[in-house]
Homo-oligomer: A and B are copies of this chain.
Amino acid sequence: MVEAYEQLVAEGLLESKTGAGTRVAARVAAAGAAGAGRQAASERPGERPGERPGDRREDGRPHYDHRPTSPDLGLFPRQAWLAAVRHVLALLPNDGLDYGDPGGVPALRRELAAYLGRVRAADASPDDLVIMTGVAQGMSLVVEALVLDRGRRIVLAVEDPTSTRMLPLLRRAEAEIVPVPVDHEGIVVGALPDDADAVVVTPAHQYPTGVVLSPARRAALVEWAARTGALVLEDDYDAEFRFDRDPVGCLQGLAPDRVVLAGSVSKALAPGLRLGWIAAPPHVARAVRLARGESDLGSPVIDQYVFAHLIEGGAYDRHLRRVRREYRRRRDALVGALAEHLPRMTVRGISAGLHLYAEMDAEDGSDPSGLAEAARAAGLSAEVVTSAHGSPGLVIGFARLPAHRVAEAVRVLAKNAGGDVRG
């Protein structure tokens, strides 16, 4: 087994550094800026649908890219997970190992419905929940269900700027993407096209700008959805990590008949678990459950029972409290170091999540790509954000950088970038 890992490293699929700020992650590379206007996968000439130049390395493998929203996997609760597996394997009846309900094992849906109600002010019964392999599959299958329902490719509004990683996936599911600007209150609801079948939003912590969707915008968005009949897809990607106060409740709780809430354990536990959920209006939940019953037959069951046990016994809450404290320390350290060494960067957004968003000084004129590269060279996970509607910025992940190493990394970055270096 150890040899196998060494082989992984040799193949460049894993990076052997531990505790460093960045690593390689397996995923088809992000491609296509949000600001590119309406364009669907099959409309790009000369390419396989869903594939783009840069999607592959020369050997045909997908790219492995850095992602600033990755959690510190050193914080994964291995002992608690193993104990829960032991517990489940000791108690699970044999039948529990059979094909599960394609919508997810009822025990987990029950625990999760209660948890989401308590922690995210969601309004969902266990039957409204479908266990997914993550937010990505949730979005894919909801879009697919809408496409089946409409009998045509759907028009899907997305925030601009947004996570470009989601776009190939949405296009594959036959969505025509329409970017809609984001300001300091979140998505500009007035700019939503009335012919959109759905909109993807990140109300708790907009990705990448870090703003919270304001109460007025929440009301306006729900009103827009009710008026146009559109569905709101709420990507609740890092809502567990609000550091300065309790997180704002989810949008789904305000309008359970119009909003699909999608979440996962990818930030709180580990992306490799591929364990997430949607809470959806009954007809959407039913369509997605059917889709899983007619494609992959649902998620693996043991991990679902394990996660249910971790929620039920309180271990999940305890874990979240622990990592929330740790991430807050790291974010504070990064914000402080940036203020000290790179005052020309302005940190935007709330104290939350696993990344922060820094805007460049408009009069600075430095090249954001150069800065991102310097940041990566300094051991920070960073990406440039471009938008059709705003000024360029930098997303910097802080989850994987221990607080005591932040100052030095930012000092190196400032030096490399020719910034204002003090001390």
Task: List the interface of chain A (C-beta within 8 A of B).
Answer: 1-2, 4-5, 7-8, 11, 13-16, 18, 23-28, 48-51, 55, 60, 62, 67, 70, 72-74, 76, 78, 81-82, 85-102, 105-107, 110-111, 127, 132-134, 136-137, 140, 148-149, 168-169, 172-173, 270-275, 282, 286-287, 289-291, 293-303, 305, 308-309, 312
Contact = CB atoms under 8 A, between A and B. Distances in A.
A94 B76 contact: yes
A137 B87 CA distance: 29
Nearest to A148: B49
B274 A110 contact: no
Contact of A133 (B60, B300, B305): B300
A334 to B, nearest CB: 20
A183 B55 CA distance: 46
A51 B291 CA distance: 10
A277 to B, nearest CB: 13
A149 B4 CA distance: 34
Given A13-B101, A50-B290, 15 more contacts: A1-B88, A5-B96, A15-B95, A48-B290, A50-B294, A62-B101, A73-B95, A97-B273, A140-B295, A172-B295, A173-B295, A272-B301, A273-B300, A274-B296, A303-B303
A304 to B, nearest CB: 9
A157 B23 CA distance: 45
A289 B252 CA distance: 33
Nearest to A400: B94
A272 B300 contact: yes
A312 B274 contact: no
A93 B14 contact: yes
B299 A274 contact: yes
A276 to B, nearest CB: 10
Given A7-B106, A91-B2, A28 B97 contact: no
A23 B298 contact: no
Given A1-B309, A98-B70, A282-B60, A298 B26 contact: yes
A298 B270 contact: no
Nearest to A137: B296
B97 A271 contact: yes
Given A26-B100, A28-B102, A169 B294 contact: yes
Contacts of A67: 99
Contacts of A81: 89
22 contacts: A1-B88, A1-B305, A4-B107, A5-B91, A7-B106, A16-B93, A18-B93, A23-B95, A27-B293, A28-B294, A50-B148, A60-B286, A82-B86, A97-B272, A98-B271, A134-B297, A169-B294, A272-B301, A272-B302, A273-B300, A275-B300, A300-B303
A96 B272 contact: yes
A85 B16 CA distance: 21
Given A8-B107, A140-B296, A27 B102 contact: yes
Contacts of A55: 290
A80 to B, nearest CB: 10
A25 B98 contact: yes
Contacts of A312: 1, 4
